[in-house]
Amino acid sequence: MNDASNPAGRPARLADAGGLILPYKGKWPTLGRDVFIAPNATVIGDVEIGERSSVWFNALIRGDDHWIKIGRRTNIQDAVVVHISKGTAPTTIGSDITIGHGAIVHGCVLEDKCLIGIGAIVLDGAVVETGSVVAAGAVVAPGKRVGRGELWAGCPAKMVREVRPQDLQYIDEDAVLYAELASDYLRMRRDAVKGL
């Protein structure tokens, strides 16, 4: 099919995912099984998204001049921006991560099972290690390392305490909750398309 819903060269799996999915310099995003992309979210270029991950309303993932890799069961919530630094800093986002509404993730590394709070910003070369939390509104400066099991807050962000067991439980539960919610949305879209 070569029409507006499936332009020439667009991999077939992308037609099922939803959202605005575009190539950059001939490179299309690649999506794992059962990835949900909201109808008004945008994914561009050299982007890889793992199975059962979700990209919510008004989010933008732009892999134009470097790559972006996102693991399994990670949720990129509403109005999040994920980008890279041209030629110097790709973006790596692990599995089972929650990135809260309106956050900016730019040219950095987020290891598995971490939480990036609403409106937080993680900048070029920063690393957020496994089991860590970046609080809502925090700004992690370029090159900083949020250690395993640390909670950082403020602008510029700094460690304020260790992550508690209930924080880790929330991270795990939120990943499952959003994977299930994404499955519901995906099922509703597939049912709607069948009904046309």
What is the pTM (predicted TM-score) of this model? 0.91
Per residue of the chain (196 residues), what is the pLDDT tens digit? 333 444 555 565 565 667 899 999 999 999 999 999 999 999 999 999 999 999 999 999 999 999 999 999 999 999 999 999 988 899 999 999 999 999 999 999 999 999 999 999 999 999 999 999 999 999 999 999 999 999 999 999 999 999 999 999 999 999 999 999 999 999 998 888 776 4
Please enumerate in sequence order all residues whose Cβ is within 8 A of that of 179, keeping only pairs 6 or more positions apart, or say none: 52, 53, 54, 73, 75
Q: Which CATH class is domain 12-194?
A: mainly beta
The DSSP bridge pattern shows strands 109-110 and 127-128 to be parallel
Query: What is the structure's pLDDT at 36?
Result: 95
Structure tokens at 145: 């390392």
Q: How far apart are CA 196 and CA 187, in angstroms?
A: 15
Percentages (nearest 5) of helix, strand, coil residues in the chain: 20, 35, 45
Q: How far apart are CA 170 and CA 29, in angstroms?
A: 30
Query: What is the structure's pLDDT at 6?
Result: 47
Domain ranges of the chain: 12-194
Query: What is the structure's pLDDT at 55?
Result: 98
> What Rg, from alpha-carbon coordinates, does the chain have?
16
